Amino acid sequence: MENFQEYGSAAMLQQLWFRNTGGGTATPTISTTEKINGLASMQVVYDAGAPGYAGLEHLLSSSNDWSGYRGLSVWVNGDNSKDKMVVQFKTGDQQWWEAYPILNFSGWKQLKYPFSNFVHPSWEKNPPQQRLTVPS
């Protein structure tokens, strides 16, 4: 879905990965030194502040087809902060889904989340579907 190789500048990255304005500050930049694979990674400097959270949003094309996939994975350079990271997305039928990795490790780690482990966020009232299903 994303490898951060094609962004020519932090400004270009920030046009497509933008701050969730309901939360604290979060600024994405491109790092060519902190990377696990390839040429670059996205580095996020954040401060949850008074809202208690900070985050970025990224809109995916509606033409993305996740059928045949079993879940999502992301490489994270953990700082052993014990902070909760939220991996969140909204499906085409307008349902929100989340997984909650804890940054209780240091260094690079690939975090894998089967779709069956995603749940609705607590603020989403009366979701029509209790389990996420993705066609095979």
Q: Where are the domains of the chain?
A: 1-50, 67-130
Give the pLDDT band of residue 129 (cuts 50, 70, 90): low
Per-residue pLDDT of 47-99, as tens digits, reads 999 999 999 988 877 777 888 888 999 999 999 999 899 998 888 778 888 99
pTM recorded for the entire structure: 0.80
What is the distance between the alpha carbons of residues 77 and 118, in angstroms, rounded to a whole number?
22
List C-alpha distances in Å: 38 to 3, 9, 80, 124: 8, 16, 24, 37
Per-residue pLDDT of 2-29, as tens digits, reads 778 888 888 999 998 999 999 999 999 9
Distance of CA 94 to the CA centre of its chain: 17
Contact call for residues 90 and 98 (beta carbons, < 8 A): no
Q: Is residue 15 within a helix (H) or strand (E), and if so which, with residue range?
A: helix 10-16
Contact call for residues 57 and 28 (beta carbons, < 8 A): no
